[in-house]
Structure 1
Amino acid sequence: MQTLVMSFYLYILLLIVPLLVLLVILKPKSGYSGKKLPPGSTGWPVVGETMRFVLSGPQRFIRERRRKYSNDVFRTSLFGQKMAVFCGAQGNKFVYTKLFTPWWPESVSRVMFFPEYTDTPVNEVSAVMHSFVHEILKPDALKQYVRVMDAMAREHIESEWDGKGVVKVHPLAKKYTFDLAFRLFINVVDVEHVTRLFNHFRLITTGLFSVPINLPGTAFSKGVKGGKMIREELLKIISNRRKEMMERRENTPSSTDFLSRLLLVKDENGKYLSDKEISNNIIGLLVASYETTSTAVTFMLKYLAELPHIYDEVYKELMEISQSKKEGELLMWDDIQKMRYTWNVVCESLRLTPPGHGGFREAVSDVTFAGFTIPKGWKASWTVHTTHKDPECFPDPEKFDPSRFEGKGPAPYTFVPFGGGPRMCPGKEYARLEILVFIYNIVTRYKLERINPKEKIIFHVIPVPTEGLPLRIIPHSI
């Protein structure tokens, strides 16, 4: 038996070693002689350092390379692309300028979009959508959704939390944010239909930031499968909605959901968007609103369960709002504006455990930063991990201190969970509403206790509690 096992491993080595040698021999020359590129390593040919980035998590990956190469900017190779990772507040600020254009890894575009759009530049895929999103997600437009969010939060808590004693926060937060997104974006409320779509969508998020190798069982393969299924479902919904609106000869949507409004949007040539273009953009909205928001809710509740003095202050503020309302009365926009301390607590939670690592861009021409040249076409990454826990940006950075966000708050480009400058995430206000409404409904109902204070948090592309963050929920009436 031992001989058989040794023979097997020898056979594998004989296959792999020649392949690796061939890859090294065939590795193309850089072609950047005379340019002072950022220090760093591009790892193995083809795969680069993607596996290390995914397995160790962005935070550790970046920390190690800053220490080894440069505190300002270093080079690597991720998702099959040469990439410069910018660090610190100045690095963040630099990447947000017009010197860079939006870019997504191949795994993201191939999972999310129809095949004919995967090679289309990001700014072309979402050009019309960009202005539309800014319009529908600005504060004045979002006021009408506060009551819907509150009503859905109450329904969710009554069905999924009440009477449970112990709940796993992370999967429940994901379910809530997805259900809410489908209600507001598409106006789909049928439970079975939403559940089916939710299962497809979970496959999408599995493969978004993965090595784009489409073999059975890989995360990328699952993502591609989930993307195909949810696009098919969306096309049916879009086609039916378009038909209904044409039959009613609507020039303005009778519904406030985003899909009904998007069906009436025209591009720069005066043409309505195609069903596939609408599907691409709806999926983009869902991705942006789902994983990061549910993760933000999860870790906010984690800190509230761990820090009784913080919880007490949040409870006091939210109960003042609750007691000012009539029985059964839903939250209004003005109520959200009173949740100042609670939002500061959310921000401090986002600082310590950001739900996303940052974002990606592409250099539109050769650019220079910190004495190094980043060639045209290179990809660029900005990241939260180089400022959020920097003691120069946030003194005593491991301390949970919501007062950091009082007054003018942190210095520009140091607190960047939503990006910054002209590249600020247009969904910031939507996320703020969704998080505050949900936290309001939890805290005014329950005290929170951590079941396992030693539960591990895995930091891959997003932070994930390994046990789903089980909490004991104790109704205030007890």
Structure 2
Amino acid sequence: MSVLSIADNLRGLPPYGTDLSAFLLIAVTCLFIAWCFKRSRSAVDQRLPPGSYGLLPFIGETFPFLLDGPKYTRTRIEKYGPVFRSHLLLEPIVVVSGAQHVNTILATDDVIQLSFRSTKLLFGDSGFYSMNGEPHRMLNRSLRSAFTPTVMASLIQPMQNIVRERLHGWTKLGLIQGCEASKDIAITAANQLILGLDFKGAEFEKLKSCFSDYSDAFFSFPYDIPGFAFRRKVLINPSLDGFSILHTLLSTNSNLDQSDDSLTTRQVQDIALEMLYASQETLASSFCTLLMQLAENPRVLNDLRAELATNDIGPNDILDYKTLKSLPFLNDVMKEMLRYAPPIGGGLRKAVKDVEIAGYVIPAGWRILFSIEGTHKLCKYNGDVETFDPYRWKKLRVEDPHHSSRFDFIPFGAGNRTCVGQDYAKDLIKVFLLEISRCIDWQMVNGMPDIASCPIPLPRDGLPLSVKPFDMKKFKEIHESSNLASEA
């Protein structure tokens, strides 16, 4: 191409100054929009709690939150205080800890329950935890009628049978994986006692596998993107559809009242699926914490056994509701476990109006995460809150007999969203705690393990345990002889 032809082509282009003017106009417009956004954001930020949105767009502080939730909460409380802002799971959010502030969030009508997208996709739109307002209140009343003291009293002996059968299997094996063994107990109890089913063998293993996949998908990125856990575990695996699983399960349950039209079949299935998942994961976490902490604190385990011996509970005595209620130290150990390592780290809410809290404002539409773990660590209990110490509760009863823990001890939530099945969970935990105290001795093969905090606190190494039978009869005889000697 000649120089003249190039010059001819250039003559057909707009003048250079026109292009520059257009570029400058676009640049100035973009800068003005950015300035307006920053100014409006600054105006909002002046009313928001202190905090940080993180360095990564959209992602924010999601990674440190998912990798170690308790550490994330603790370090930011130390830096910003009990109410701070952040950016988690693609959304701006305010994290709230402390009894007074949690009370503010849970007591106001300006905040509603909010579920993760994965929760709705996995458990259905009609699930209990996806509801708000009057539908939730009606369903809450219906579900609570299934967990009355009379019903719970009738479940103690079946709980005992399930736990003892599994513990006997542990001693025969000698070496077990504590996490899987704990899940076995939790899901067996849920199937038999909540759904009235009794799956064994291959059916039981298939059900466990399905719920393991649900757990993996629960906190994954909930979109149909190749390579992501949610797609691998749910969208390409039809056996994980909640309707398909529970249609099969509930169709075999002769106790299901087909004439009751207060709940649709789909609602029953969604609710049952939620209860199965919640009971398996959270109770397994609680069992693992007890196994770890009692192995690490032999004095506590010895005092538990002493309480059983003092109350004349032998190695094979049948348990009942009254017995469980008559063991204060057993209850203190359970309570300390729930304080020290709550299986659920917090609850998600959404502000439907601007909410004032601690002198700040949470704008309408923002997400709110109330931290159970953070609240427990902020409250003024006796002793070091970072230490597993069941003895703190007796001291607290003596020093402050009128102490109310409505919002400073909230392992099952608080307010009108308190966990419906908390009595079932507490009774099963106490039965498990009592039976491991009098039936087995165990040691952690690898010592105290690291804990994966998301979505449920569980040992990263699976908690390998060396297990052998414990002679409660001999312990009881030695304890009684010791008491007689001390009285002489």
For normalisation by structure 2, the TM-score amounts to 0.79
Query: What amino acid does structure 2 have at the position aligned with 1:283?
Result: L
Judge conservation of contact 1:208–1:223 (CA < 8 Å) in 2: no
What is the deviation of 1:429? 1.1
Aligned match of 1:277:
267
Aligned match of 2:21:
none
What is the deviation of 1:146? 1.0
Q: 1:423, 1:27 → 2: CA distance? A: 42
What is the deviation of 1:383? 0.8
What is the deviation of 1:230? 4.2
Alignment of 1:285-434 (within 5 A): 285-320=275-310, 323=313, 330-390=318-378, 392-406=380-394, 407=397, 408=401, 411-434=405-428
Query: What amino acid does structure 2 have at the position aligned with 1:438?
Result: F
Which has the larger Rg? 2
Q: 2:411, 2:339 → 1: CA distance? A: 7
Worse overlay, 427-436 or 76-85: 76-85
Worse overlay, 125-134 or 301-310: 125-134
Residues 95, 118 of structure 1: CA spacing in aligned structure 2 closer, same or farther, 3 A cutoff?
closer
Q: Is 1:177 matched up with 2:186?
A: yes
Residues 306, 414 of structure 1: CA spacing in aligned structure 2 closer, same or farther, 3 A cutoff?
same
Please state whether the residue corresponding to 2:290 is helix, strand or coil: helix
Alignment of 1:149-298 (within 5 A): 149-158=159-168, 160-191=169-200, 192-225=202-235, 228-239=240-251, 241=253, 255=255, 260=256, 265=260, 271-298=261-288
- For structure 1, the residue ranges without an aligned partner over 5 or more in a row are 1-21, 245-254, 266-270
Residues 74-117 of structure 1: CA distance to partner in whole angstroms, max 9, x if unpaired?
12232333321112221221222133221111122112226x98
Residues 79, 218 of structure 1: CA spacing in aligned structure 2 closer, same or farther, 3 A cutoff?
same
Aligned match of 1:15:
none
Residues 228, 468 of structure 1: CA spacing in aligned structure 2 closer, same or farther, 3 A cutoff?
closer
Q: 2:221, 2:152 → 1: CA distance? A: 37
Q: 1:41, 1:140 → 2: CA distance? A: 50
Residues 419-476 of structure 1: CA distance to partner in whole angstroms, max 9, x if unpaired?
2344332222111111111122222112222322243223333222122222222322
Aligned CA RMSD, in angstroms, stands at 3.1
Alignment of 1:127-166 (within 5 A): 127-158=137-168, 160-166=169-175
Worse overlay, 132-141 or 350-359: 132-141
Q: 2:57, 2:70 → 1: CA distance? A: 23
More helix by share: 2
Judge conservation of contact 1:319–1:444 (CA < 8 Å) in 2: no
Judge conservation of contact 2:224–2:231 (CA < 8 Å) in 1: yes
Please state whether the residue corresponding to 1:345 is helix, strand or coil: helix
Query: What amino acid does structure 2 have at the position aligned with 1:113?
Result: G
Residues 264, 223 of structure 1: CA spacing in aligned structure 2 closer, same or farther, 3 A cutoff?
farther
2:115 to 104, 124, 127: 104
Residues 314-366 of structure 1: CA distance to partner in whole angstroms, max 9, x if unpaired?
112234556469x5x53211111123201201211222222221111122321
Worse overlay, 455-464 or 292-301: 455-464
What is the deviation of 1:223? 4.7
Residues 470, 399 of structure 1: CA spacing in aligned structure 2 closer, same or farther, 3 A cutoff?
same
Q: 2:161, 2:463 → 1: CA distance? A: 25
Q: 2:350, 2:270 → 1: CA distance? A: 21
Q: Is 1:61 matched up with 2:72?
A: yes
Q: 1:312, 1:431 → 2: CA distance? A: 24
Judge conservation of contact 1:418–1:424 (CA < 8 Å) in 2: yes
- For structure 2, the residue ranges without an aligned partner over 5 or more in a row are 1-29, 475-488
1:475 to 444, 448, 469: 469
Q: 1:111, 1:391 → 2: CA distance? A: 35
Residues 348, 123 of structure 1: CA spacing in aligned structure 2 closer, same or farther, 3 A cutoff?
same
What is the deviation of 1:392? 3.8
Q: 1:469, 1:339 → 2: CA distance? A: 28
1:52 to 57, 64, 70: 64
What is the deviation of 1:122? 5.0
What is the deviation of 1:401? 2.2
Please state whether the residue corresponding to 1:82 is helix, strand or coil: strand
What is the deviation of 1:311? 0.5
Query: What amino acid does structure 1 have at the position aligned with 2:53?
Result: T
Q: 1:384, 1:119 → 2: CA distance? A: 17
Please state whether the residue corresponding to 2:349 is helix, strand or coil: strand
Aligned residue pairs total 427
For normalisation by structure 1, the TM-score amounts to 0.80
Residues 244-292 of structure 1: CA distance to partner in whole angstroms, max 9, x if unpaired?
6xxxxxxxxxx4xxxx26x565xxxxx4322211111111212221211
Query: What amino acid does structure 2 have at the position aligned with 1:167?
Result: I
Query: What amino acid does structure 2 have at the position aligned with 1:459?
Result: S
